[in-house]
Amino acid sequence: MPELKAAGVNSMIAVLRSMVAPERFTAWIRTLPSATAALIEHPRLAQEWIALETIAPLYTMSLDGLFDGDTERLYELGRQQLRNDMSGIYRVFLRIASPAYVAEKTGAIYAVYARDCGTLSVVGRTDHSLDIRVADRAFPSPAFFEALRGSIAGALELTGVKDLHVVTIEDAKDDERLFRASWR
């Protein structure tokens, strides 16, 4: 069963909450499936695993319910969440690591927080770009992939790259995306 660590889910919920007015967030919770709403009302312990099926509506339903269809807000959700999650020793590590080194560790880090949720790997690299493929994603959605695009940006920003752009360069399959991150 595809699962994610609760630490990331709790972090995502905190960022979602910070991105809209409290009344709007509270009203939105009432529109969620009951199991998804319960993740907000009763946060799980950071080390617990949560079924991806329960989490998926957070992405899809936030697009219209919180962000009025603005996909750039999903990008910002992923970016902020990743930057918030990488605190303390992780932030220091990213600050001194090169984008290439971070890229080498990407798949392993993804596997620590996502179980049976597909793969994330670097499939191309230059001195100023990375091509990152996510494949076989369970419960895929365009909303999830926009948030992931932002997460990629958040991680690379912490390495100190300048003029960063992360774009989707391939989206022919529902459960797969190819992103290109480029910088100067």
Q: Are residue 118 and residue 71 in the same domain, yes or no? A: no
Q: Are residue 74 and residue 16 in the same domain, yes or no? A: yes
pLDDT band at 105 (very low <50, low <70, confident <90, very high): confident
Q: Are residue 14 and residue 66 in the same domain, yes or no? A: yes
Q: Among 56, 79, 102, give the residue marking a domain's end.
A: 79
Q: Are residue 74 and residue 33 in the same domain, yes or no? A: yes
Residue type at position 119: T
pLDDT tens for 142-159 read 999 999 999 999 989 988
Output the pLDDT for position 93. Answer: 73
- Mean pLDDT of all residues belonging to the chain: 93
Q: Are residue 64 and residue 119 in the same domain, yes or no? A: no
Q: Are residue 177 and residue 97 in the same domain, yes or no? A: yes
Structural domain of 39: 3-79
Q: Among 26, 51, 79, give the residue marking a domain's end.
A: 79
Q: Are residue 47 and residue 72 in the same domain, yes or no? A: yes
pLDDT band at 108 (very low <50, low <70, confident <90, very high): confident
Output the pLDDT for position 89. Answer: 64
Q: Are residue 141 and residue 101 in the same domain, yes or no? A: yes
Q: Are residue 101 and residue 178 in the same domain, yes or no? A: yes
SS3 state of residue 40: helix
Cβ-contact 177, 96 below 8 angstroms: no
Q: Are residue 170 and residue 91 in the same domain, yes or no? A: yes
**For position 143, which CATH number holds?**
3.30.70
How many domains in the chain?
A: 2
Cβ-contact 81, 32 below 8 angstroms: no
pLDDT band at 6 (very low <50, low <70, confident <90, very high): very high
5: which DSSP letter? E
Q: Kindly give, in sequence order, each residue whose CB lies less than 8 Å from that of residue 167, ignoring residues fewer than 6 positions away.
A: 149, 179, 180
| pLDDT, mean of residues 131-135 | 96
Distances (CA, A) of 124 to 3, 97, 127, 161: 27, 18, 11, 18
Q: Are residue 52 and residue 128 in the same domain, yes or no? A: no
Q: Are residue 94 and residue 172 in the same domain, yes or no? A: yes
Angle at 13 between CA 167 and CA 48, to 5 degrees: 105
pLDDT tens for 44-59 read 999 999 999 999 999 9
Output the pLDDT for position 92. Answer: 73
Q: How far apart are CA 78 and CA 59, in angstroms?
A: 10
Q: Among 50, 79, 108, give the residue marking a domain's end.
A: 79
Long-range CB contacts for residues 90-97, cutoff 8 Å, separation at least 24: 91/158, 94/155, 94/158, 94/159, 95/158, 95/159, 95/160, 97/159
